Amino acid sequence: MNSANTIKSNSKIKRGGKIILILVLAVLLFVAAIRLPAVFTEGTKEVAFGPKLLYRTAHKSYEDVFKGDLILVNNSHAYNFDLGEKKYTVESKKNEYYRVKNDELSLNKITIRQFNALFKDFFKRTGLDNVTIISAYRDYEYQERLLDERISSSGYSAAIRWVAQPGYSEHHTGLAADIAVSDAEGNTSTFTGEDDYALIGENAWKYGFIRRYPENKTEITGINNEPWHYRYVGKPHAYILSHYDLCLEEYIEYIKQFTYPNSYLRVNIRGDVYQIYYVPASPEGKTAVSVPAFGSYDISGNNSDGFIVTVKR
Ligand SMILES: [Zn+2]
């Protein structure tokens, strides 16, 4: 090939390259134009419901008020043990990215699944796999023992700021756990959520968890600041609680203003859109809950007087 031909074919290659580059840019711009509003719109807003024909009725029994990921259990709302909800040992379902203090500790299936995802993410970012679940589901008798021990060591008034009354502990739900940090010998130290471990507090909402007893809400929760106690509530709810600085007590009240057929709370989390609203429970018999005719939704009781519907759009 002589030099004139080489120059010619080089410029052909260059032109071809330019066309491909322009095409790639055009495709990227097109994709960005579709994606941009979804990617960058984030937050919550009150929205009026659409046409009624897009909704149908689901029926919930009164005892369903005491079930679900959003039940509020605190010093004035007891956990309903009669439901006999199934718990699973953490050991049987956990991944390799964290530890559990013993084989008996158990939680709800979804709580373990979401801890797996949270701690896997944490390990990928930090290389740390020593977060350890040290307390999980507790039955009535266990909570009673804990409180008695605390009363003998610290006295009654101090004890009840740390340990809930039996029947009123969030640990009864299987949706909450206490975590600690293990050293090489397997000794655990208190989880303060500082330094590298601050990432867990920052990321928890992405996996549906909240820090249930923050320092600035002790007057409302009735429990002291506990950086180690995490509770599963589901992603859109955890997003609102953490981004708008609400504790679960405040959130359960707040959400009651959004009811069918008036308005719902629309939550946009970087393109993941959810619709959330409240349905008061009928004091007797079944409650008619309006739900979307199509698509997926979840209905959780609030453990006192109604249901919270979460729709994934
Ligand atoms: Zn706890």
Can you give the pLDDT of all 313 residues of the chain as single tens digits? 445 454 555 566 567 777 777 777 776 666 555 554 444 578 999 999 999 999 999 999 999 999 999 999 999 999 999 988 899 999 999 999 999 999 999 999 999 999 999 999 999 999 999 999 999 999 999 999 999 999 999 999 999 989 999 999 999 999 999 999 999 998 999 999 999 999 999 999 999 999 999 999 999 999 999 999 999 999 999 999 999 999 999 999 999 999 999 999 999 999 999 999 999 999 888 999 999 999 999 999 999 999 999 999 9
Are 147 and 159 in contact, with CB atoms under 8 Å apart? yes
The rounded Å distance from CA 118 to ligand 1 centre is 18
| H-run or E-run covering 151 | helix 140-154
Q: Residue 276: which CATH number?
A: 3.30.200.180
The rounded Å distance from CA 176 to ligand 1 centre is 7
Q: Residue 133: which CATH number?
A: 3.30.1380.10
Pick from 182, 197, 232: which residue ends a domain? 232
Which of the residues are catalytic?
226
The rounded Å distance from CA 117 to ligand 1 centre is 20
Q: Which residues have C-beta under 5 Å from ligand 1, the single-atom ion?
A: 178, 229
CA distance 252 to 270: 24
The rounded Å distance from CA 64 to ligand 1 centre is 24
Task: Judge if 99 and 225 occupy the same domain.
Answer: yes
Instruction: Sort strands 131-135 and 99-100 into parallel, antiparallel or unpaired.
Output: parallel
Pick from 180, 200, 232: which residue ends a domain? 232
Look up residue 274 and give its two tokens.
């959810």
The rounded Å distance from CA 226 to ligand 1 centre is 8
Task: Judge if 114 and 205 occupy the same domain.
Answer: yes
From residue 40, how far is each of 34, 124, 270, 271 by CA, in Å? Answer: 11, 25, 6, 8
Are 288 and 61 in contact, with CB atoms under 8 Å apart? no
The rounded Å distance from CA 139 to ligand 1 centre is 13
Pick from 184, 199, 232: which residue ends a domain? 232
Supply the pLDDT for residue 176.
98
197 located within any domain: yes
Task: Judge if 170 and 226 occupy the same domain.
Answer: yes
Domain limits for position 35: 1-40
